[in-house]
Amino acid sequence: MSVLTLIEARLGTLTEGERQIARTILDDPEGVLRQSSADLARLAGRSQSGVVKFCQKLGFSGFQDLKIEISQATARRGVADASGIVHGSIEAADDLATTAQKLLGSKIRAMQETLSVNGAESLDTARDALAGARQIQLVGVGASSLVARDFGYKLQKLGRRTTFDADSHIQMANAATLGQNDLMLAISQSGQSLETLRIAETAARRGATLLSVTGLQTNPLSGLARIALFTVDDEERVRSSAITSRDAQLMLLDLLFLRLVQSQDDAADLIRGAIDAVAPLKL
């Protein structure tokens, strides 16, 4: 995972002083490479010791180690930028073409970073848990509920016993019926949606396997989960509703769906059967 992605993900957990240092780095990571810790402290309006403590909080021994990681991260971004895709904050004055390119860049980056933070072992553990579950309950509110519904439709095409309801009260009632052979997939970018968290707690008390999909920041939902997957958004640049987080969630769950298809011998026949069943309902 890129250190720049790590810093972005940690913004919500930093103190105000640490956040000023983080913002200074994120605003001009290439410039930071030419600076000393004293330079960064001056630009951020903080003390030099504050910069060192910030680096250590991220897991680095000091500023030089952080600069090495920033150098590698900016080099990887440079390769991506060579594609011609514009990546930056969408401003009110941007024309249509610029807005479209910035949006595309943000979506691509969110999906690429999401892939980078979820290892193959975690993804296959999640797939195996889904494949072995007697029943799967999908949970999410707001924009996350749309992602949950989409994944539910896909699972049903594979013959999986799946439940989803947009009403959080019904979600809670369903969670109360789960058992040790069941699985709940709970989706929340913040990991702090109260309804989702309470429903997940109910499932966990019932002994069901809890699989979470949340953002990278420390959050109670991923802490509760037996299996935790993560998404990276780029909403700071899009400055709008849940756009890149939704794309990252959809991409991650589409990947899990494809891994299920690859591991299920009759998947192709079941999907074809679903398509054929719906065909007479179309003009």
pLDDT tens readout for residues 51-61: 999 999 999 99
Please indicate whether residue 90 or residue 198 has the higher confidence score (pLDDT): 198
CB atoms within 10 A of CB 238: 21
Backbone angles phi, psi at 82, to 5 degrees: -65, -15
Between the alpha carbon of residue 268 and those of residues 114, 245, 271, the distances in Å are: 27, 30, 5
- Quick one: pLDDT at residue 268? 92
Q: What is the pLDDT of residues 166-204, one digit of tens each?
A: 999 999 999 999 999 999 999 999 999 999 999 999 999
Whether 20 has a pLDDT exceeding 90, the answer reads: yes
Rounded Cα distance between 150 and 266, Å, is 21
Q: Give residue 131's region: left, alpha or beta (phi > 0; psi -120 to 50).
A: alpha
- Quick one: pLDDT at residue 235? 54
Domains of the chain and CATH, by start: 3-82 (1.10.10.10), 117-281 (3.40.50.10490)
Q: What is the pLDDT of residues 122-164, one digit of tens each?
A: 999 999 999 999 999 999 999 999 999 999 999 999 999 999 9
Give the rounded distance of the alpha carbon of 224 from its chain centre. Answer: 17
Return the structure tokens found at 25. Answer: 């780095």
- Quick one: pLDDT at residue 3? 87
| Residue 66 CB burial class (10 angstroms; 0-12, 13-18, ≥19) | buried
Rounded Cα distance between 224 and 96, Å, is 43
Taking residues 34-44, report their average pLDDT: 94
Q: What is the pLDDT of residues 206-219, one digit of tens each?
A: 999 999 999 988 89
Instruction: Give, rounded to a whole angstrom, the gap between the first and last alpha carbons of the chain.
Output: 47
Give the rounded distance of the alpha carbon of 211 from its chain centre. Answer: 13
Low-confidence winner among 4-18, 237-251, 265-279 (lowest mean pLDDT): 237-251
Q: How confident is the model at residue 238 (pLDDT cuts 50, 70, 90)?
A: very low
Please indicate whether residue 257 or residue 234 has the higher confidence score (pLDDT): 257
Backbone angles phi, psi at 137, to 5 degrees: -105, 130
- Quick one: pLDDT at residue 2? 79
For the chain, give the mean pLDDT: 90
Whether 82 has a pLDDT exceeding 70, the answer reads: no
- Quick one: pLDDT at residue 36? 94
Q: How confident is the model at residue 239 (pLDDT cuts 50, 70, 90)?
A: very low
